[in-house]
Structures are given as structure tokens and as C-alpha cells.
Amino acid sequence: MNNYKANPDNIIEEMLNSIGEKSFDGLYSMIDKKVLMEKLDLPKALSEYQTQREVKNIAKLNKIDYSYFIGAGAYKRFIPAAISQIASRFEFNTAYTPYQPEISQGTLQVIYEFQSMICDLTGMDVCNASVYDAGNACSEAILMAARISGKNKVLVSKCINPEYLEVIKTYTHAGNIEIEEVETKDFKTNIKAIEDKLKSGEYAGLIIQNPNFYGTIEDIDIIKSIEKHQKTMLIVCVDITSCSVLKKPIEYNADIVIGDVQSFGNSLSYGGPYAGFIATLDKYKRQMPGRIVGRTIDADGKQAFTLTLQAREQHIRREKATSNICSNQGLAILNALVYMSLMGYKGIKQVAYLSAKNAKILADGLKLKGFKILNKDFFNEFILEVENADIFIQKMKEKGIIAGLKLNNNQILVCTTEINTNEEINKYIEFA
């Protein structure tokens, strides 16, 4: 530790005396000797060039040439090369947080355009500047519904991503909000269970995912017809890609729409960082967490962007803040914005169509081979029944295929996207 002392010896001695220690090493005397290393067994120093070669040789040991059929909230999709080039331009890619809009026009324009495009896809009136991820968005939406309704009970479908549910439980526990989970039926939300519970009229909101965690498309029109007379807010967590081919949430009268934009130009990156969004109706905009960027005209008559709403505790009195969320996912939504701009609505729709088509082809091929597909009306994910999930996944991995996500001993969640080729699908069916 002597190499890292920031103070001269006399200052160190004075500090040690004040706490009753005789030596610097005495500070670490309480640490179990079993966890201490006497020395670091490091190789000899290398030049920069030699280090690069060594790292490349180590990287070659990684096997990355797999065919991927796993999703469950994080999707391997095609990322156009132009995204990184555009997103790295200095006008947009900045570490500066836009507290002062006149300094951050490029960053603010990115957020404004992102908000606008998410509203186009969902049909909602306003969208915020993003939150951390979809799990965070689910939790903030529930807190938002509780503030609006004045109620502290929320229904949550057990068909939502289990990771999102864990985040929800953590958030709402601290917020004194009671979570009631709605059971599933045929890998859909149990409509009868919702109907019975909503008769009381005591729930702030109902949150469902569509398509749900199992890939099944929910009967949201039926759910809304039950819910609309109970003054319970309908919160829908969407796969944003699917909004280009399925009904937009505004069409079934969703009150709050949430989701993640990982699949829009953001790589898997070992699970993050991603970016969640919250979109809602105009009448609820002042209860949204985070920030909303608006467009206006400056004193010279030129277009300008500004933080229109900043209902967070860093900007206003804590008791009036809607959230203590500190920031938005600026770089992740920048990638998403460039992706949406390059692909356009037709391009995103084609991506959704190909993803669903590939899932149908794969599911039909597996059924012909004697496998059971356990859910119907799925988008691009389905549940495959197998004899032993661990053995099946390992066998497929040996063939160069990541077969899906194990749900239990006999069920695997299989996913396809637009990048799965016919050859990969045929290989999956052949080796299954």
C-alpha cells in the first residue's frame, strides 16, 4: 500500500495517532488473513503493442459464432453500422447533462425526437426522456398511477417478465404500495381473475405485458372493457417493435405505456445499459417521472429545445417531486433514435413481421417433428416442451445453437428475430 500514500509521513503519523494506530498497515489488521494476498502474480510488463496482441489471443478463445434463439427481454437484432458513426458525433455524444438547455441543444434535440417517435409508435400523447430500463419504467408507472388515483393497491399480471416483477416489488415495498399478482391461464393473464378483483374498484392500476413474457399476445380489448368502469389505470408494458404490427396501445385505451428500447440499435452488452420509456396521455404529463423536452422558438426566431418539465427532486421541492430518478439514458436513446430514423416506420414493421414469421416457421417445424408448443397467439417467442431442458440446451449448444431460456425442467422459451436465417431455423429443427 505504500506506493499509494497521498499524504507525507508526518501527516500520516498524526492521523494514525488520532485513531490509536501505530502503523498504516494496522488499518487492515481486522481483515481475515485468509483473504489477503502476499503478492500479485503478474507477468512481466509488456509494451502497448504486445499487450494488444496478448488480449486478441485471449479473445480468440471466446466462442461467439452461435445461432441465437434466446430473448426474454433482451434481443439480438441487426444494428446498422451507421448508428455508431452518427451517434459518435460531438453534437450528440456528450457526457454533459442538459440542465442548461442553451448549452446542450444537440442532446436536447435527440431527446425531443426520441420522445416524438415513441409517441408515434405507441399512439400516446407524451413520452419522457427515458428511464433506466423496462423494470424501472414498470415501477415508476405504478407509483405514477398511485399518485393519480390516490389508491395504494395495484394488480400485476404474473405474465410479465419476472425480472421486472422483482424490481416492482422492491420499489413498491418502500412506497407502501400493495402488489397483488394475477394468475396465468394458458400462458395469458387470467381474465376471470381480473374481472372478479376489479369489481371492488379499489385498485390504482393494472399492469400487463403485451406480448407477455411468454410471447403470447394478450386479450387487452377484453381487459379494457372490464376495467374501464372501475377507474383503474391500464398500464401496458410493450415490446416496442411489436407496436408497428399489433394494435397501438392508444387503440385499446391504455393510460400509461412502458417498455425498453434495447432492441432499437442497442447491443446486448451483457445486460445493459438499456433504456426504458414511459408514455402517457396529456392529462397525466405532470405526474410523469424524469424529464420532458419541448421545442420552442428563441429570441431570434430560430428553433430551440428546452427542458419543459423537470418534475424531479433535484429541480423542485422534494414533496412535490414525482420521482427521485436522477437521469435519463442519453446514449442508449441516441442509438435508438438513430435506429428509428434509419429504419423508418416501414423498416421497423418489416423487422417485426420477419421476427414473427420466423417464429411461426420454427414452431411449425418443431410441431411436425413431434414437439409440443404450449402457447398460442404468440408474436416472436413461444414455449417449447422438452423432456429435459438442461440436456436439450446443452446438446443444442454443442451444435452451435443457443436454444432458448430454461423456464423449468421441461419448458424452454424460444425466440426468433429478423436475423435468424432459414438455414439456422432448419438446423434448430434438425438437431432438436
Q: Which of 244, 247, 422, 222 is nearest to 350 (CA)?
A: 244
Closest listed residue to residue 124, CA positions, set 248, 270, 299: 248
Q: Do 239 and 401 touch, CB atoms closer than 8 A? A: no
Nearest to 144 by CA among 118, 181, 177: 177
CB 118 within 8 A of CB 131: no
Using alpha carbons, select from 277, 340, 260 the residue that is nearest to residue 86: 340
Structural domains of the chain in order of their starting residue, each with its CATH number: 67-77+347-431 (3.90.1150.10), 82-340 (3.40.640.10)
pLDDT of residue 421: 97
Q: Are 230 and 259 in contact (CB under 8 A)?
A: no
pLDDT score recorded for residue 182: 93
Q: What is the pLDDT along the chain (432 residues), one digit of tens a residue?
A: 455 667 888 888 899 999 988 887 888 888 888 888 888 888 888 999 999 999 999 999 988 889 999 999 999 999 999 999 999 887 776 655 656 655 678 888 999 999 999 999 999 999 999 999 999 999 999 999 999 999 999 999 999 999 999 999 999 998 889 999 999 999 999 988 888 788 788 999 999 999 999 999 998 877 777 666 567 899 999 999 999 999 999 999 999 999 999 999 999 998 889 999 999 999 999 899 888 899 999 899 999 888 888 765 556 666 677 777 767 888 899 999 999 999 999 999 999 999 999 999 999 999 999 999 999 999 999 999 999 999 999 999 999 999 999 999 999 999 999 999 999 999 999 999
With contact defined as beta carbons under 8 Å apart, do 292 and 285 qualify?
A: yes
Nearest to 324, CA basis, from 125, 47, 136: 136
Phi then psi for residue 304, to 5 deg, are -145, 155
User: For position 313, what pLDDT does the model report?
Assistant: 55
Alpha-carbon span 232 to 255, nearest angstrom:
9
CA distance 158 to 166: 11
pLDDT on residue 205: 92
Q: How far is CA 309 from the centre of its chain?
A: 23
pLDDT, residue 297, reads 92
What is the rounded CA–CA span in Å between residue 16 and residue 27? 9
